[in-house]
Structure 1
Amino acid sequence: MSSVNQSITRVIGLISGTSVDGIDAALVEIIGTDFDLKIELVARATYPYPAQLRERILAVCAGDAISMAELAQIDDAIALAFAQAAQDIQIGQQPATLIGSHGQTVYHRPPHPSLGYSLQLGRGALIAHQTGITTISNFRVADIAVGGHGAPLVPRVDAFLLSHPQAGRCIQNIGGIGNVAYIPPRHGEWLSKIRGWDTGPGNSLLDLAVEHLSAGAKTYDQDGKWAASGTPCLNLVAQWLNQDYFHLPPPKSTGRELFGVSYLQQCLQDAEPHQLSPADFLATLTELTAASIAHSYRLFLPEMPQQVLLCGGGSRNLYLKQRLQFLLSSIPVLTTDEAGLNADFKEAIAFAVLAYWRQMNLPGNLPAATGAFEEIPLGEVHPAYQAT
């Protein structure tokens, strides 16, 4: 498809992932459509949630019962935080004309046996009202309405930004939950051969474990140093890999509903007979993340990739990256930085692109990744409020 619009559009992409560690904001310049898509990252930053808001979000994600009034308050608070992030990222820059906001996922139910359900807080209408910028949000519902999981949503973006003419690539995001996009070499019917799914836990269990083991003094294991000082219990990892989700064929999706506080408590209980030190336990959970990724590639890919490109917060966990490289043997494990796309902000960039495509009425999903019946534009459009 040739470009029908060669003017530059400035778009802000916003997302807070399942780790709930803050709002990633990316200001990008976009040109082209899909096959000739080009982007330039102009500015990026992560804006932490206020501590009290983060605690409330995590409580909701963990299943705490709240009133509708409290839900509305949290929805508003998240939207205002996202709006502030959009305003801050533009300081000293030419303004954006479009915002793509993923919002904050607080609940996700895969589509079995009925339609799926996914709830992202941080309503787009309020962001548009606060910023004066047209905002596209609620990206998952359109895919879910046509039978999809509403996840993962980034494989189509990955396809047009990170495909290679000769090499098959796995683009592996490691946020709170891990997800993969398998991109075959870019020739022939390559687009129809793309696959994607949620691989399982990413940082979610690790962060919960660090907070538990440090009695709240730490919220994450920087660079994986604590885990690297321990020794993984491989028998325990093998036991955990028997969990049904890891053997469920794609398309599939998951979240904190499965890999959350209750799952961590079960892991702690399973570990008791092995008398693991805190470092050993963290090393074992890290091994589960790495092993679940490698395991899913071997079970579900049509062929192993020539490269793995990591992105998301877990791409900075050096011990996790080292363990994944060991498990994948000779397949190079790199980051998307090495392919020219910022690894820390790739997901925020992706939602900027999805908003751009929505404005052009182009599809944003890939049915082979989400399980939807058809390709469809994603996102609800909230025009900027114009005072009279």
Structure 2
Amino acid sequence: MRVIGLMSGTSVDGIDAALVDISGSTEDLQATLIAGATYPYPADLRDRILAVCGGAPLSLAELAELDDAIATQFAQAALKIQANQAPAVLIGSHGQTVFHRPPNAQLGYSLQIGRGEVIAYQTKIATVSNFRAADIAIGGQGAPLVPPIDAALLRHPIEHRCVQNIGGIGNVTYLPPLKADLPIRGWDTGAGNMLIDLAVQRFSEQTYDRDGAWAARGTPNLELVDRWLQQDFFQQPPPKSTGREHFGAAYLDACLADASGLTQADILATLTEFTAASIAQSYQRFLPQLPDRVLVCGGGSRNTYLKQRLQFLLPDSIICTTDDLGLNADFKEAIAFAVLAYWRYHEIPGNLPEVTGAPKSVLLGEIHHVV
């Protein structure tokens, strides 16, 4: 089946679109990327999304307008990615997260907008969307959802592996060897690129620190990093998830207040170290053993300095990217939502209860047929 996966993450950089040929089911899953591209949001739409994610009040009428605008952008991305290609028969759209509340004493709640029924109508392709809702409804975190795809595509006979996505938020999948009697695990590790990107945008007209070059000119304040890592989120055992609600602009303000007196380069070095150290500490604290190999993906996979710091903190692990194993690091998340749509179409449960904390496996996503 040829499926389009659509994804926009917490960094709100744009819509990642992946056209994927998929076959098999779980153990024999094959997913081949035919085409991948990122389609930036129009600047005014991105500003509106970021304002809402930052807590700006929104009327129901404004929410409806934003929902429609995002759905239209997703539909256009789907049409563009399959131009001059054999057409897809299914779309898996993650949508745009604007709010995520992990479960505590109450059910969790996660809102992804960009209506699947609009995408289906505008593209004339059946669309699966709203993937997180079913897991959350039965008490799960609704995140991360990529670990079962990682397990199907990247597990190794003898290596202990971690697949570390570094988008706006970082999340990990732990893959024990195939014959090991150990569970697959996964959780959000904390801020990925988000704080670094926000700081760069405060300090300059740039949107991110290309290759980590700016941070590499600074010196991280390790005392600050150690202090930040004492916060509750990092002590909480998995399952756990987080988002911009926690690691957003207000969090950066607190970090900058702590870092007063440091140069901009030192601040960026400290925030980059914080991301790397949050990943390494979570492995050391919550895994049965440290990984033989860490496969980095997402935007952070292009940050050379961040990967160097991760290698320093995990000296006995090989740090590489999913590119090295033939799975595109830039579009892996979009590929994953294509697979989740494929699984939903074939009525294969898509969540991993040991990762999300849900009591059982369930079908993920709502199917919107062409009308």
Say yes or no: TM over 0.5: yes
1:226 alignment counterpart: 214
Following TM superposition, by how much is the alpha carbon of 1:62 offset from its aligned partner in structure 2, in angstroms? Answer: 0.2
Confirm whether residue 291 of structure 1 aligns to residue 277 of structure 2. Answer: yes
Q: 1:189 Cα shift?
A: 4.8
Q: For 2:33, which of 41, 46, 49 is the aligned residue?
A: 41
Structure 1: distance between partners of 2:168 and 2:251: 14
Query: Is the counterpart of residue 115 in structure 1 residue 103 in structure 2?
Result: no
Alpha-carbon distance in structure 2 between the residues aligned to 1:99 and 1:189:
35
Quote the residue 2:299 is aligned against: 313
CA displacement 1:32-53 (0-9 Å, x = unmatched): 1111111111000000000000
Q: Which amino acid aligns with 1:223?
A: D
Deviation per CA, 1:209-261, whole angstroms, max 9, x where unpaired?
000111xx111111111111111010110111111100000000000000000
Unaligned runs of 5+ residues in structure 1 are 1-8
Which residue pairs with 1:170 in the alignment? 162
How many Å apart are 1:168 and its aligned residue?
1.0
Tell me the SS of whatever aligns to 2:259. Answer: helix
CA–CA separation in structure 1 for the residues paired with 2:256 and 2:29: 46
> Counterpart of 1:83 in structure 2: which amino acid?
A
Determine the structure 2 residue equivalent to 1:76: 68
* Counterpart selection for 1:360 from 331, 342, 346: 346
Query: What is the TM-score of this pair, normalised by structure 1?
Result: 0.95
How do 1:22-41 and structure 2 match up within 5 A? 22-41=14-33
Q: Which residue of 1 aligns with 2:242?
A: 254
SS of the aligned residue for 1:238 comes to: helix
Quick one: which amino acid aligns to residue 53 of structure 1?
L
Match of 2:145 among 153, 158, 163: 153
Match of 1:207 among 187, 197, 211: 197
Cα distance in 1, alignment partners of residues 38 and 300 from structure 2: 15
**1:11, 1:256 → 2: CA distance?**
29
2:28 is aligned with what amino acid?
D
Q: Which amino acid aligns with 2:207?
A: T
Q: Distance in 2 between matches of 1:166 and 1:298?
A: 20
Q: CA deviation at 1:188?
A: 5.6
Q: What percent identity do the matched residue pairs reach?
A: 67
State the SS of the aligned residue for 1:148.
Answer: coil
1:239 to 223, 227, 230: 227
Matched, 1:300 2:274: no
| Distance in structure 2 (CA, Å) of the matches to 1:384 and 1:35 | 30
Does residue 86 (structure 1) correspond to residue 81 (structure 2)? The answer is no
Output the CA distance in 1 between the equivalents of 2:66 and 2:316: 46
Mapped partners of 1:103, 1:284: distance in 2: 32
Q: Give the Cα separation in 2 of the matches to 1:184 and 1:276.
A: 41
After superposition, give the CA deviation of every residue in 1:324-372 in whole Å (9 maximum; x if it has no partner). 0000012111100111100000000000000000001001110111000
CA distance in 1, matches of 2:177, 2:144: 20
The residue correspondences of 1:171-186 to structure 2 (distance < 5 A) are 171-186=163-178
Read off the aligned partner of 2:231 and give its amino acid letter. Answer: Q
Please name the residue that 2:256 is paired with.
268
Distance 2:5 2:146 in 1: 13
Counterpart in the other structure of 1:380:
366
TM-score, normalised on structure 2?
0.99
CA distance in 2: counterparts of 1:188 and 1:21, whole angstroms: 38
Equivalent residue for 1:332, pick from 292, 310, 318: 318
Q: Are the equivalent residues in 1 in contact too, given 2:15–2:39 (CA < 8 A)?
A: yes
For residue 187 of structure 1, report the CA deviation from its aligned partner: 2.2
The one-letter amino acid of 1:165's match is P
Shift of residue 264, structure 1, vs aligned partner: 0.2
Aligned residue type for 2:81: I
Task: Find out whether 1:195 has 2:185 as its counterpart.
Answer: yes
Is this contact kept in 1: 2:292–2:316, CA < 8 A? no
SS in structure 1 of the partner of residue 320 of structure 2: strand
Distance in 1, Cα, partners of 2:289 & 2:140: 24
Q: Report whether the alignment pairs 1:53 with 2:45.
A: yes
- Alignment RMSD, CA only? 0.7
CA distance in 1, matches of 2:54, 2:271: 19
Partner of 2:330: 344
- Cα distance in 2 for partners of 1:235, 1:111 equals 31
What one-letter code is carried by the residue in structure 2 that aligns with 1:202? G
Q: Partners of 1:39 and 1:179 in 2: how far apart? A: 21
Secondary structure of 1:115's aligned partner = coil
